[in-house]
Structure 1
Amino acid sequence: MNRKKPKKSDNVLWRLCRKAVLLLLIIGIPFLFFTSTFQLKKIDVVGNERYTKEQITEQLLQSKLDSYTPILYMKYRYFTQFHYPFVEKIDMEMVDNHTITVYVYEKQVAGCVEFMGEYLYFDKDGIVVESSSSQIENIPMIQGLEYNKIILHEKLEVQKDELFDVIINLTQLIHKYDLDVDTITFNKASEVTIDCGGIKVLLGKKRTYDEALSELKNIMAEAEGMDIIIDMSNYVKGTDHIIAKPKKATE
């Protein structure tokens, strides 16, 4: 009795099926293991002040692959720089299979100037670190100056070199004494006026403003919410050369 030989096409189909199953076992099982073992479930953000955790997280997760802990960690640890306004850099720590901690190092911004419709922000050394089309809150705006040039990542240049030192001194002291200053304005005589909400403070022209701003910190605690002008242009430590009057009286 003659047996029928299997068709050649059946043998080919069978071999293809076996290869497909083998390939599925080799690739599919490790893939399922990886996706279930390293699914990113939690991102902790540390050091962020200007941005929320949600904003940082949204910027980090750019693709579906970023939702796996080792991939996200390796990406920003070794291959990709994190680019976001006012962020100097980030560091990452893979806490466990499902958790990453992101350490955010923000650029230290001392003040802001407006130039050709853009807001340019500089650090404590006067280096322009960032530009933006909108003004950021809680960063003092410098007004009344002329600028020789403003180039990103270079030192701010103004019409008088000595004014640069004044600007840096003022912005550092404002940060030191935690004063809420909206604008720092220079007049033609290089005299300084600062605006703190509804309060305008005349500081005049001094070699250093440390003593005046130290005293202003105490005054602001009592003058909060008032709409007044405080004249400290002749203030000397240990004296009472401070004049406060309503703004309306001067209009």
Structure 2
Amino acid sequence: MIKEERKKERMKKRRRKAAGIIFLILIIVLGGGFAIGWTCFRIKTVEVEGNALYENSVIENAVLNDKYSWNSIYVYLKYKFTSMDPIPFVDTVEIKLDSPSKLHITVYEKGVMGYFYDENEDANVYFDKDGFVAEISQRVIEGVPMIKGLQCDSIQLYEKLSIEQSLLDDLLTLTQTLKREKLVPDSIVYGRENSPILIYQNIWVPLGTVEQITQKVEHLAQILPKLKGESGMLHLENWTEDSPNIVFDRDE
């Protein structure tokens, strides 16, 4: 009886010892695998696409912004569960792993429709396709028209422009139509009765109201290339389907 109990005790000790060894081996294997994996996921290449308003380096620095950002798994998981700090004109940023060492960043920018100079801020105020202030800065972004002749009561970053709603709607309709047709002017000047005038170098194009703006812009797209090097005024303000004549007054 005593011998059997001793035998059982020795068997228990052996099992405990074997279990301890197996556990230790698992710890070593898992720890080694984790260490190797952690090292293998060191970022060597970053690919950025979709950005037109910012250099690649600006986007990279915005994404890889802490001491652990050398690791691709960490960066991937970080932005799966947290949001990035806001970047002007950027709607969302998507992070993917092309390989353990290659990070792919896709930028989805907001539509930048135009800007105007504000004397109180002594800066350029940029607005997006929804009429919200996206940036207040000194820089001038190429390909974005300057808006002149409009007054804002107040300016607040990420808030809607404080312009009469109907006028703001007309402005956004106009700028989006011009951008879609790739006819973005150097500037848009609002004169009497808030009637917009498009300026392309030395050619001025008064539009009148934004009614039938699509048709007016279609005609503009046909005529403007033929006026390259010219100087004068292309009258679209009185164009209607019933009065289709368009006059170009050359400067003398």
**TM-score bucket (shorter structure):** 0.7 to 0.9
Letter in 2 for 1:189: E
Residue 86 (structure 1) shift: 1.6
The one of 166, 181, 184 equivalent to 1:162 is 166
- 2 CA distance for matches of 1:82 and 1:145? 31
- 1 CA distance for matches of 2:185 and 2:250? 19
Q: Does 1:94 align with 2:101?
A: no
TM-score between the two structures when normalised by the length of structure 2: 0.76
Q: Which runs of 5 or more structure 1 residues have no equivalent in the other structure?
A: 1-24
Contact 2:174/2:210 (8 A) holds in 1: no
- 2 CA distance for matches of 1:30 and 1:152? 48
**Residue aligning to 1:235:** 239
1:103-134 Cα distance to aligned partner (Å, 9 max, x none): 11112222222222222222222222322222
**Residue aligning to 2:88:** 85
Contact 2:47/2:104 (8 A) holds in 1: yes
Residue 90 (structure 1) shift: 0.8
Contact 1:76/1:82 (8 A) holds in 2: no
Query: What SS does the corresponding residue of 2:173 show, helix, strand or coil?
Result: helix
Computed over aligned residues only, the root mean square deviation of the Cα atoms, in angstroms, reads: 2.7
Query: What SS does the corresponding residue of 1:50 show, helix, strand or coil?
Result: coil
- 1 CA distance for matches of 2:218 and 2:180? 9
The one of 88, 96, 108 equivalent to 2:111 is 108
Q: Does 1:185 align with 2:170?
A: no
Task: Using the aligned pairs only, state the percent identity.
Answer: 27
**Residue aligning to 1:142:** 147
1:190-227 Cα distance to aligned partner (Å, 9 max, x none): 22211123322122235342221111011122223433
1:131-166 Cα distance to aligned partner (Å, 9 max, x none): 2222222112221122222322222222x4432222
**Residue aligning to 1:13:** none
- For these two proteins, the number of residue pairs brought into alignment is 223
- 2 CA distance for matches of 1:56 and 1:225? 39
Distance 1:100 1:106, change over 3 A: same
Residue 239 (structure 1) shift: 4.9
Distance 1:83 1:149, change over 3 A: closer
1:53-72 correspondence to structure 2 within 5 Å: 53-63=56-66, 65-72=68-75
1:24-48 Cα distance to aligned partner (Å, 9 max, x none): x99x967863464112111122222
Contact 2:148/2:188 (8 A) holds in 1: yes
Distance 1:62 1:229, change over 3 A: same
Query: What SS does the corresponding residue of 2:194 show, helix, strand or coil?
Result: coil
Q: Which runs of 5 or more structure 2 residues have no equivalent in the other structure?
A: 1-27
